[in-house]
Copies of this chain bind each other. A is one copy, B any other.
């Protein structure tokens, strides 16, 4: 890339003042929604699951779905799990976020303050756990530890959506769509690193919607003016005509770093 002399702007480093990564948000939406259909699937007996149907049927209780994190991923997951008639508990640290979610989520989602006590109590009951804790620009914290798996019912399923940021479940490691699951201590782990890649038609459209305004701005104003006008785009600059300008990239590859301000 350095040799090619191009201007390289990375999807995952375009960043708003709020810390949001606007080009990744649609992927979180897709992954959150997919997480529930993956979980439902791997609860089937043929995959070693406990053989429980998320929504039950009239006369039989629904499954318990535990969602750790109420951001974009968790909220989308909660809505889908509730839509399949499961009983959902969503954990989050922000009371303000829980209050908003209580305004807009259906009543079969319980909203619980996240702490270790509540987490362990919920793990005991959960049939499906969705790890949805992602910190922008940081490794996800390991909220569920290996020893916690012993509390869970055998044949339960964990979907760790945070796996491409290291995972929020200690025992999760990245898998692929071709071989998506493995078992640790009787618990099925689904941890596909690129979940949205499973539904490329939806994901591409979602991504294009988010990217298009930036592309239009670059095309209209030229890259330099566009990056001056839009701090989020400026944040996205990685390489400018042979100079590495993104600190983490320079550091990772042992290259010298140039201050982007000098080139834009």
Which positions in A face B, CB cutoff 8 Å?
A: 22, 25-26, 29-30, 33-34, 36-38, 40-41, 43-46, 50-62, 76, 79-80, 82-85, 87, 89, 93, 95, 98-99, 101-104, 106-108, 110-113, 115, 177-178, 197-203, 205-206, 209-210, 212-213
Least CB separation from A201: chain B residue: B51
In the bound complex, do residue A51 and residue B198 qualify as a contact, i.e. CB atoms below 8 Å apart?
yes
**Most chain B beta-carbon contacts within 10 A, residue among A40, A55, A111:** A55
For A59, the chain B residues whose CB sits under 8 A away are 26, 95, 98, 111-113, 205-206, 209
State how many angstroms separate the Cβ of A263 from the closest Cβ of chain B: 30
In the bound complex, do residue A107 and residue B107 qualify as a contact, i.e. CB atoms below 8 Å apart?
yes
Q: List 21 A-B contacts (CB under 8 A).
A: A22-B95, A25-B95, A29-B58, A33-B55, A33-B57, A33-B85, A37-B84, A43-B199, A45-B177, A51-B199, A51-B201, A52-B201, A57-B202, A58-B95, A58-B99, A60-B113, A79-B85, A83-B84, A95-B209, A107-B108, A115-B212
For A37, the chain B residues whose CB sits under 8 A away are 37, 40-41, 54, 84
For A56, the chain B residues whose CB sits under 8 A away are 110, 202
In the bound complex, do residue B57 and residue A206 qualify as a contact, i.e. CB atoms below 8 Å apart?
yes
Given A58-B101, A84-B84, 6 other A-B contacts at CB below 8 A?
A33-B55, A45-B177, A52-B199, A57-B206, A82-B107, A108-B108
For A108, the chain B residues whose CB sits under 8 A away are 107-108
In the bound complex, do residue A46 and residue B177 qualify as a contact, i.e. CB atoms below 8 Å apart?
yes
For A51, the chain B residues whose CB sits under 8 A away are 198-203
State how many angstroms separate the Cβ of A204 from the closest Cβ of chain B: 9
Least CB separation from A88: chain B residue: B107
In the bound complex, do residue B198 and residue A45 qualify as a contact, i.e. CB atoms below 8 Å apart?
yes
For A197, the chain B residues whose CB sits under 8 A away are 45
State how many angstroms separate the Cβ of A210 from the closest Cβ of chain B: 6
Q: Which 9 A-B pairs have the closest CB atoms?
A: A83-B83, A107-B108, A59-B113, A53-B202, A58-B98, A113-B209, A46-B177, A29-B57, A103-B104
A52 to B58, CA, bound (A): 28
In the bound complex, do residue A60 and residue B206 qualify as a contact, i.e. CB atoms below 8 Å apart?
yes
Least CB separation from A115: chain B residue: B212
In the bound complex, do residue A53 and residue B82 qualify as a contact, i.e. CB atoms below 8 Å apart?
no
For A84, the chain B residues whose CB sits under 8 A away are 33, 36-37, 80, 83-84
In the bound complex, do residue A50 and residue B201 qualify as a contact, i.e. CB atoms below 8 Å apart?
yes
For A112, the chain B residues whose CB sits under 8 A away are 59-61
